[in-house]
Amino acid sequence: MNKRLLHTALRNISRNKRRTILSATAIAVAAMSIVMLFALITGMTNDMAYNLKNYYTGNIQIQHEDYAEFERFNPIHLMVDWEDVKPALEDIEGISAVVARTQFPVSLYIDETNHGAIGVGVDFADEAAYHDVENIVYEGRLPEDGKNEIIMGGTLAHDLKLEIGDRVTMLSTTASRGTNAITMEIVGIASFPVTNMNSAVFWIPLDRAQYFLRMDTGVQSVLIKTDEDVKEKRLIPIIEEALLKETGTTFAVDSWKDINMMFSLLKLAQNVYYFVGIFFFLLGSTVIINTTMMVIFERMREIGTLSALGMHGKELVRLFFLEGVVIATIGSFIGVTFGVVITEILGRVGIDFTDAMSGMDFEISSILYPEVNIPLSIFVFFYSVLIASLASMIPSKKAAKIEPVEALRYI
Amino acid sequence: MKFLITFAFKNLTRYKRRTLITAGAIAVGIMMYIFIDAMLMGAEYESVRNLKWYETASARILNDEYWENRQQLPLDLSISDPDKIIDRLDENGIIATKRISIGGDLILSSQEFGEDGNLPVTVTAIDPSTDNEVFHYADTLIEGRFLEQDEDAALIGSWFAEDIGAKIGSWVTVLARGNGGFYEAIDLEIVGILNCPNPNVNRTLLMIPFDTADYYLAMDGAATEINIKLSDLADVDAELPAIQELLNGDDLTVMSWTAMARDYLALAEAKRGGTGMILFLIFIIAAVGISNTMLMAIFERVRELGMMRSLGMSDAKIRIAFMLEAAGIGLLGSIMGVILGIVADFFIINVGIDFSFIMRDMDIGYRIQGIFRGAWNPGTIVIAFFAGILISTLVAYLPTNRALKMDIPSCLRHQ
Amino acid sequence: MKIKRRPLMIMIVMLCIATTLSAMTAEQIMREADERQTYDSSRSSGQFKIKDRFGTKVSTFDAWSKGADESLIEFTSVAERGQKVLRTEDSIYLYYPDAEELIRMQGSALRQGMLGSDISYEDMTGGKDRLSQYDIVLEEDSELVFGRDCHVLTLTAKTRSVPYPKEIVWIDKENFIVMRAEYYTKSGRLLKEMETLSVGTLSGIEVATETRISDKMKTDTETIMILDELEVNIRIDDDLFSLDELSW
């Protein structure tokens, strides 16, 4: 019996192509938009996560045990010995890249006045293995190890009226709790993907930062990038143990999710976006429900004919439900596929919002790369099928209860 | 023509169910569009409002040299007779209030706070009688009372209070440099706690009365800034030259909030791109939803159309009749949608959604308050209304035209 | 300042100590203390022991001075070797070996502690015009500090441009060494305290060889200055205190 019903359902679907296409399109577009919206959201939040992981904390951050407690006082002397820590991390599985960075507040001494800024010492060779560091260069080039060279955030350079080739003197507190000053040359202007960084941060070679800040082989923090499938929580005890064995010291080893501020920022953004996402589901659902219900109402006469021919109510509901399921499956499949393909393409090319920012003095490139969220796309597929199928049941149930004669009269 | 309108209207009322379903689809699409737009607008507007209400005001008058040296919070680069300037502004119908920004250290004693500590703070001295005409701090008072003139008392941001463990009645000491450079320590009783929706402020705010600062720091009546409130609708940059005119000869400059908050505005600009994409997607779903329902509604009626043709009605008239019907449905749907949208907006704008539990302890640069609220965007409502009617009418054209090209018997046989 | 009169002053002081000590006015006492700390020229070396919440660090220095207004400190300890602080009549300049320009400290930058200590750059310049900037009153003619009989002077600022509106100073009656000083805010809260922990004789001159300065608004911080060597009235090249020479 089921086979016969399925057969009838399929025949009905292929017989009335226009109707099938219409309702399938509605489902497809709804499914596609939802997939694309979430790809956009995933793209935006991943972008944020990427920035946090690459420019702030890494997946895992290693610092001196007491650093966080005294952070307010700029305790640059609470450092991690890079030469001890580096070899300890080398053989740990699940680590894909490691960089050392030292961030220090400075006064830039320009024309007899002091301007606050944040310097960061980085090892440009290590950075290249960690992320696409060349990408931050807006003008000029990256500094070279061993040379007193700076790459400065574009907005900061603009605010201070500095250009490539200018020499600036910076003053900071050293690891020996004294002060020191050094003059360096600007060789590059950076466009950091984080606005706050552009207006405050400059990078110098790590070895020069160590020299300037009297840190010897110490660094302020070590950022670890983990392999894609590795959970930070699992890796942290392994790292802690390896560090203890190698150096005999306990460090603060934290997942980026536990460095409270950063992650909660991301969570907030996600919540706002997902809230918008809920409305996409709602709107998508109404489009699906509406179309499906229209289709069934349109077929009241057909229902009348079928029941006049002796088809039972239950069978009728089943028939229409089956048709609904088939159309919904086709529609969702097409929609989700299209959504995935389009976002995949956009994800490669990127959506460029740079134009929107051209009114500014310093152009920040802002290219958004949507990212397909596979589990969610699968969910959207089943969700759309379910909604459409359920939606087809309501009117057909009602139709099955109507007297054949009445249904036949229905326009 | 009159006949056609009556005809379309009759059809709409006769097939109530179909009209309602189709109009419903349009309404939902329009409502959602309006609603989401209000949410996204809210994110933007709220942050601007937080900035103007709690940080920058609409514009600020400063000593010519102050802005360049603002990081040092210099007390000597001041406005020597702020009341004179405020009176002058008042004569021109501009509301203003004077303030002093003071850099110092907050000293916490172990008797009050469990352990000794000191941390850098920026103290804002306000004129309790006029500050609330420009800023909106009084509305954010959650505990205690607002400041009174000339008392050794302070208001504190609720997050700041929580961080250091201060309560109403706690005493704190502010160590600062007076005008000229002498040291002064001011003991202050916390009399009120403010829960300012601007997180940047809520984490750092410490406010004292103007007269108190004036006395202890020997300001001789001078202020470091005069803040100006202009109407929300005013084009601030356009008003500035007139204000600057009033200041000539006093070595003072007026700055707009956009000039003061440049970094922030750049960030907002970047967010707008993503927001636009989301709106575009929702527009697509809504448009497809509307067109689809409309297409269905027309196809369903091809037989009816065949009937009309066989009875001798001209193709042109039929086309107009059908499109009029579609426009009618679009109008109905748009009205319903706009009404629903406005109701939904009322909720999101007046009640909002509370996200504050995750806002704690972070600096996001984007000044969204804990309670997320939408904002009215009349432009979108109008656009959505007309788009609803236009899309339904245009979409009706295609299937009607196609049906009119078929011969009458196939129309009549049409399922 | 009054360098030329010094030999005469010393003779007068010698007589005073023996005979008319108590008859000195507050201003005279203050002036005498200042005079004794001011040399035609001097070369000294010593160390700072700076204690903050993170522990104690030691920096050593060589210093030269000429009169009351010009001085040069050069740090010799590893962490800050080669750094110099030059004080001229109206400015403080910092020289760092790796910086291409001199950093002139002015305005609020002067409020920072030198080397993170409790001594601000401002404190270094502060003492020079005390006589003109403060009203000085002899509060108590005799009080014991670390077993030494001292004058107690109260200084009240005449202007707002001094950091400490009120100071109380204990000056040893015999050698005019400031044994103790307290620095107050305008409303009278104790901010900083200076104590002379030991007095010694270097090159035949009695000087405070160990001084402790502590910030009373912070807990667990103090700076101890120890003077190891002192030579006075030696020949010093004038160029030593010129800006050009500083960045040689």
For B258-281, write each residue's pLDDT tens digit. 888 776 666 666 566 667 777 888
Q: What is the pLDDT of residues B156-165, one digit of tens each?
A: 998 888 878 8
User: Could you tell me the pLDDT band of residue C9, with boundaries at 50, 70 and 90?
Assistant: low
- Distance between C30 CA and the closest CA of chain B, angstroms: 21
Give the pairing of strands C190-202 and C84-87.
unpaired
Spatial distance between the Cα atoms of A20 and A27, rounded to a whole number of angstroms: 11
B347 interfaces chain A, CB cutoff of 8 Å = no
**Would you call A237 exposed, middle or buried from its count of C-beta atoms within 10 A (0-12, 13-18, 19+)?**
exposed
pLDDT at position A121 is 95
Parent domain of A383: 2-51+264-409
- First and final CA of chain B: distance in angstroms? 30
Residues 40-59 of B with CB under 8 A from A: 40, 43
Contact (CB<8Å) C163/B116:
no
Give the residue from chain A lying closest to B295, CA to CA: A22
Secondary structure (3-state) at B107? strand
B35 interfaces chain A, CB cutoff of 8 Å = yes
Length of chain C in terms of residues written = 248
Residues 81-120 of B with CB under 8 A from A: 119
Q: Best of A114, A177, A180, A183 to disrupt the C interface by mutation (most C CBs within 10 Å)?
A: A177
Same domain? A205 vs A351: no
Average the pLDDT over each of B6-10, B250-254, C148-152 and give the range with the smallest value.
B6-10
Short-list A195, A200, A213, CA closest to A365:
A195
Amino acid occupying residue A407: A
- Distance between C145 CA and the closest CA of chain B, angstroms: 26
H-only helix segments in B156-220: 158-164, 199-202, 210-216
C115 interfaces chain A, CB cutoff of 8 Å = yes
Same domain? A347 vs A202: no
- Distance between A293 CA and the closest CA of chain B, angstroms: 9
Query: For residues A153 and A190, is the Cβ–Cβ distance under 8 A?
Result: yes
- Distance between C16 CA and the closest CA of chain A, angstroms: 44
Instruction: Collect all residues of chain B within an 8 Å Cβ-Cβ radius of residue C159.
Output: 180
Q: What is the pLDDT of residues B126-184, one digit of tens each?
A: 999 999 999 989 888 888 999 998 899 999 998 888 878 888 998 999 999 998 888 99
Residues 265-304 of B with CB under 8 A from A: 266-267, 269-270, 272-274, 276-278, 281-282, 284-286, 288-289, 292-293, 295-297, 299-300, 304
Same domain? A244 vs A280: no
Phi, psi of B63 (to 5 degrees): -60, 145
pTM, entire model: 0.78
- Whether pLDDT at C30 is above 70: yes
Spatial distance between the Cα atoms of A14 and A21, rounded to a whole number of angstroms: 10
**Would you call B188 exposed, middle or buried from its count of C-beta atoms within 10 A (0-12, 13-18, 19+)?**
buried
Same domain? A318 vs A180: no
Amino acid occupying residue C36: R
Phi, psi of B261 (to 5 degrees): -115, 40
Structure tokens at B133: 């005409």
Q: What is the DSSP string of B311-327?
A: TT--HHHHHHHHHHHHH
Secondary structure (3-state) at B391? helix
Give the residue from chain C lying closest to A114, CA to CA: C109
**Would you call A92 exposed, middle or buried from its count of C-beta atoms within 10 A (0-12, 13-18, 19+)?**
middle
Residues 52-91 of A with CB under 8 A from C: 70, 73, 75, 77-78
Enter the ipTM: 0.79
State the total domains in chain A: 2
Query: For residues B149 and B129, is the Cβ–Cβ distance under 8 A?
Result: yes
Q: What is the pLDDT of residues A261-286, one digit of tens each?
A: 666 667 766 777 777 778 777 877 77
Short-list B234, B231, B224, B236, CA closest to B261:
B236
- A-to-C residue pairs, Cβ atoms closer than 8 angstroms: 65
Q: What is the pLDDT of residues C88-109, one digit of tens each?
A: 877 888 999 999 888 888 777 7
pLDDT at position C4 is 45
Phi, psi of A325 (to 5 degrees): -60, -45
C111 interfaces chain B, CB cutoff of 8 Å = yes
Q: What is the DSSP string of A20-81?
A: HHHHHHHHHHHHHHHHHHHHHHHHHHHHHHHHIIIII--SEEEEETTHHHHGGG--TTS-EE
Spatial distance between the Cα atoms of A337 and B6, rounded to a whole number of angstroms: 46
Spatial distance between the Cα atoms of A280 and B285, rounded to a whole number of angstroms: 8
Contact (CB<8Å) A366/B273:
yes
Handedness of CA B160, B163, B168, B170 (dihedral sign): negative
Spatial distance between the Cα atoms of B271 and A272, rounded to a whole number of angstroms: 13
Same domain? A247 vs A279: no
Q: Which fold has domain C3-246?
A: outer membrane lipoprotein receptor (LolB), chain A (2.50.20)
Same domain? A369 vs A391: yes
Phi, psi of B150 (to 5 degrees): 55, 50
Chain C neighbours, 3+ Cβ pairs < 8 A: A, B
Instruction: Collect all residues of chain C within an 8 Å Cβ-Cβ radius of residue B106.
Output: none
- First and final CA of chain A: distance in angstroms? 30
Contact (CB<8Å) C161/B72:
no
A180 interfaces chain C, CB cutoff of 8 Å = yes
Structure tokens at A304: 């009348």
Please report which helix (H) or strand (E) contains residue A87, including its range.
Answer: helix A82-90
Based on its alpha-carbon atoms, the radius of gyration of chain C, rounded to whole angstroms, reads 18
Domain ranges in chain C are 3-246
User: Could you tell me the pLDDT band of residue B222, with boundaries at 50, 70 and 90?
Assistant: very high
DSSP bridge partners of A118: A105, A201
- A-to-B residue pairs, Cβ atoms closer than 8 angstroms: 159
Same domain? A95 vs A139: yes
Instruction: Collect all residues of chain C within an 8 Å Cβ-Cβ radius of residue A169.
Output: 99-101, 103
Out of A256, A280, A306, a domain closes at A256
Q: Best of C118, C133, C160, C182 to disrupt the B interface by mutation (most B CBs within 10 Å)?
A: C160
Structure tokens at A274: 């997902």
The mean pLDDT value for A10-15 works out to: 82
Same domain? A168 vs A212: yes
